[in-house]
Structure 1
Amino acid sequence: MSIQKIARLAGVSVATVSRVLNNSETVKDKNREKVLQVIRESNYQPNLLARQLRTSRSSMILVMVSDISNPFCAEVVKGIEEEAERNGFRILLCNSGSDIERSRSSLQLLAGKIVDGIITMDAFSKLPELTQLIGATPWVQCAEYADAGEISCVGIDDHEASQQLVRLLVEKGHQRIALINHDLSYKYAQLREQGYLHELRRHHLTWQAIGYANELSFSAGKNAMNALLADGEIPDAVFAVSDVLAAGAMSAIQDAGLKVPQNIAVAGFDGTELAEMVSPPLTTLAQPSRAIGRKACELVLQKIANPDSPAERINMDWHLIERAST
């Protein structure tokens, strides 16, 4: 289909169609949506190479995800893709595992100008190395952030959110609250652990136990819970820093002949669909995962359009979902 036919079907000029394809900001939202609707219905595929040669842009965003198997990461990516497509962009997905060599390989796309911008979900500890590799390319860090610097970031206040979750467990009468955490090279893991410890101190609870999962997976959560069960006095509640770790913890508790929440209450973090699928349904601190992805994409598009725009640090809202596991 030609852009002339798209213009005729959308009831706009050929110039308007061209501006939409080139992601121009001068198009009215109403006309942009008309054109994009016709493009979606017709499966129109523009000549990307020709457009790149003409505009020096590829209309592609590289998304580097720490672990695409994590349901939270998958939801964030959906939000990024929704916002990218709404603005005439596409995404290239890299499952980096926060491995700097895998990241280095993907970032070779920058040299060939295959992508216009980058969204990362890599560990906080990798940011200095990534900064050197990425250079001046428009970049947003998503769900992991730096406290200062020139990197725009989107996430939630992990410290305060974890305090709220621990506070719920304390208010329900639990005295021995354990934490199942992940890799402390991630800023969110540091902050959620700090929030956990802060809330215990605030309530003058001296009992504490922290288990570390080597990955964000069901089996890692189960292994961490088994270690907690084998280590002296067992907890009466467990806070896991992700829903998938919490699901593994619940399985370990039940395999040990104990009941959730009668013997040990369990709470997770992220608010993924998994929290509703386990039995009993999981109490969780729900992040606005898709909204985080959409906002990250919005910020990188702003940076692509205006490279000199200042870095922004966006804290999104969250909410606690209380279910039968606590």
Structure 2
Amino acid sequence: MSIQKIAKLAGVSVATVSRVLNNSDSVKSKNRERVLEAIRESNYQPNLMARQLRTSRSSMILVMVSNIANPFCADVVKGIEEEAEKNGYRILLCNSGSDIERSKSSLGLLSGKMVDGIITMDAFSKLPELTSMIGQTPWVQCAEYADTGDVSCVGISDTDASEFAIRHLIARGCRRIALINHDLSYKYARLREQGYKTVMQEQELGYEAIEYASELSFSAGKAAMEKLLQAAEQPDGVFAVSDTLAAGAMRAIGDTGLKVPQDIAVIGFDGTELAEMVSPQLTTIQQPSRDIGRQAVSLLIKKIDNPESPAERLMMDWHFIVRASA
């Protein structure tokens, strides 16, 4: 299917189709919709190389995530893809695994002008290394972010959210509250731990227990909870920095014959679909994961269109979802 046939099918000029493909603002909304409908009906695939030669743009966005198996990361990527496609972009996905060498390999696409911009979800500690490679390429960081600098970012207040979770456990009578955390090279992990410690010290409960899961997985959450249960003084409440870790913790609790929440209350983080799949259903901090992805794309396109625009830091609302586990 050629661009000429798309124009004939939509009842518009070839120039109008070209402007739609190049995301021009000069097309009337009615004509844009007719062209897009014709493209959908015909399954038209534009010649990306030819477009790149004409416009010096590839209409591709590189998306680098630390772990696509993490349900939160997967949801953010869905939001990124939805918003990118709505604006005429496609994504190239790199599952970096927090491996700086794998990240560097993917960033090689920047030198060849294969992508117009980049969205990352890598650990905060890796950002300085990435900065030198990314250079002046439009860049937005999701979930992990710097308080200052030239990189736009989207996230939530992890400290406020974790403080709220701990206060909820205290309000329901928990006094020995443990934290299951992950890799402290991630800023979110440090901030959620900071929130936990702030409230525990403020309340002077005389108890603090933190276990670090080896990875963000069900089995790692289970193993971390098993260690907490081996202590002389077992927790009566647990806050995990992800729903996946919380689900593993709940399995470990159940395997010992204890009950959630009667013996140990559990709260997770992220608000993924998993929280509704476990039994009892999981109380959790819900992040607006897909909206985080959508907003990241909006910020990136703004930077692509206007490279001189200042960096923006967008802090989004989180919600506390109370279910049976706490």
TM-score clears 0.5 = yes
Structure 2 distance, partners of 1:234, 1:41, is: 61
213-222 vs 7-16, greater mean Cα deviation = 7-16
Structure 1 distance, partners of 2:105, 2:205, is: 47
1:191 aligned counterpart, secondary structure: helix
- Given residue 275 of structure 2, which amino acid in structure 1 is its aligned partner? A
- Given residue 194 of structure 1, which amino acid in structure 2 is its aligned partner? Q
Deviations 1:166-197 (A, max 9, x none): 11111111101100001000010010000111
The CA deviation at 1:16 is 2.1
- Given residue 76 of structure 2, which amino acid in structure 1 is its aligned partner? V
1:173 aligned counterpart, secondary structure: coil
User: CA RMSD for the aligned pairs?
Assistant: 1.2
2:113 aligned counterpart, secondary structure: coil
Deviations 1:25-84 (A, max 9, x none): 333444433322332232110011111111111100000000000000000000000010
2:258 aligned counterpart, secondary structure: coil
Deviations 1:222-261 (A, max 9, x none): 1110111112200001000000000000011111111111
Residue 42 in 1 paired to residue 38 in 2?
Answer: no
Aligned to 1:178: 178
Structure 2 distance, partners of 1:80, 1:56, is: 22
Q: Percent identity?
A: 75
Aligned to 2:198: 198
* TM-score, with structure 1 as normaliser: 0.97
Work out the number of aligned pairs and report it: 326
245-254 vs 31-40, greater mean Cα deviation = 31-40
Aligned to 2:139: 139
Residue 67 in 1 paired to residue 75 in 2?
Answer: no
Aligned to 1:313: 313
Deviations 1:119-174 (A, max 9, x none): 00000000100001110000000111011110000000000011111111111111
Task: Trace 1:49-88 onto structure 2 (pairs within 5 A).
Answer: 49-88=49-88
- Given residue 141 of structure 1, which amino acid in structure 2 is its aligned partner? Q
Unaligned runs of 5+ residues in structure 1 are none
* TM-score, with structure 2 as normaliser: 0.97
Structure 2 distance, partners of 1:286, 1:28, is: 38
2:93 aligned counterpart, secondary structure: strand
2:118 aligned counterpart, secondary structure: strand
- Given residue 144 of structure 1, which amino acid in structure 2 is its aligned partner? E
